């Protein structure tokens, strides 16, 4: 499936990911999504960290090539080229929840990123106006998970110890008219 996925041509404006041997395609992102990612990225200092949007990550030992909304790695670790960023280089990933991505972001990708031993996974949820920070990855494959979880409402500050910064969420916006969910 991985070889098939790598040769897949998707229409412009469509995001395709390989998640545990399943190809998932979704429409492009909207304003709330893009502004949320930009507001997080703007707070991560460039001299220390490199932020990449929609960069495919290679999760070793998994038939998965997720494309997080934001990937953070040490600036000195940025490879010169390539389509896939090895998970061992990644310090944090962030996903912005949409109405159609709730289960993937809170369950499927949680397990995939934990299996890749990515130290911090930040779920930005404009549906529920909250951030969920997952740390301390453990386990393998489908059983992988994060041991620590911190939930912060939009408007509060969140300590991102993996990056040595405090995230200000006071100007994060929410979706209107979207049905609430029951995650995390």
For the stretch 104-119, pLDDT in tens is: 999 999 999 999 999 9
Among the listed residues 118, 57, 76, 68, the one whose alpha carbon sits nearest the alpha carbon of residue 95: 68
Give per-residue pLDDT as tens, 5-47.
Answer: 888 888 888 999 999 999 999 988 999 999 999 999 999 999 9
- % of the chain beyond a pLDDT of 70: 100
pLDDT attached to residue 4: 78
For residue 125, the model assigns a pLDDT of 98
Helix (H) or strand (E) holding 92: strand 90-96
Q: What residues does each domain of the chain span?
A: 30-168
Quickly count: other Cβ atoms within 10 Å of residue 156's Cβ.
Answer: 13
Global pTM reads 0.95
Domain 30-168: which topology?
tt1808, chain A (3.90.1570)
């Amino acid at each position: 499936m991985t070889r098939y996925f790598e040769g897949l041509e998707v229409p412009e404006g469509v995001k395709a990911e390989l998640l545990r041997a399943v190809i998932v395609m979704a429409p492009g992102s909207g304003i709330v999504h893009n502004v949320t990612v930009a507001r997080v990225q703007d707070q991560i200092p460039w001299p220390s960290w490199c932020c990449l949007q929609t960069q495919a990550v290679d999760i070793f030992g998994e038939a998965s090539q997720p494309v997080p909304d934001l990937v953070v790695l040490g600036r000195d670790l940025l490879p010169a080229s390539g389509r896939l960023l090895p998970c061992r280089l990644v310090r944090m990933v962030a996903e912005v929840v949409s109405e159609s991505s709730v289960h993937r972001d809170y369950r499927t990708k949680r397990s995939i990123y934990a299996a890749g031993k990515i130290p911090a996974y930040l779920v930005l949820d404009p549906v529920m106006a909250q951030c969920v920070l997952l740390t301390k990855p453990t386990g393998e494959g489908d059983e992988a998970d994060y041991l620590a979880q911190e939930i912060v409402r939009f408007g509060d500050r969140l300590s991102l110890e993996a990056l040595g910064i405090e995230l200000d969420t006071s100007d994060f916006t929410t979706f209107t008219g979207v049905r609430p969910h029951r995650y995390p």
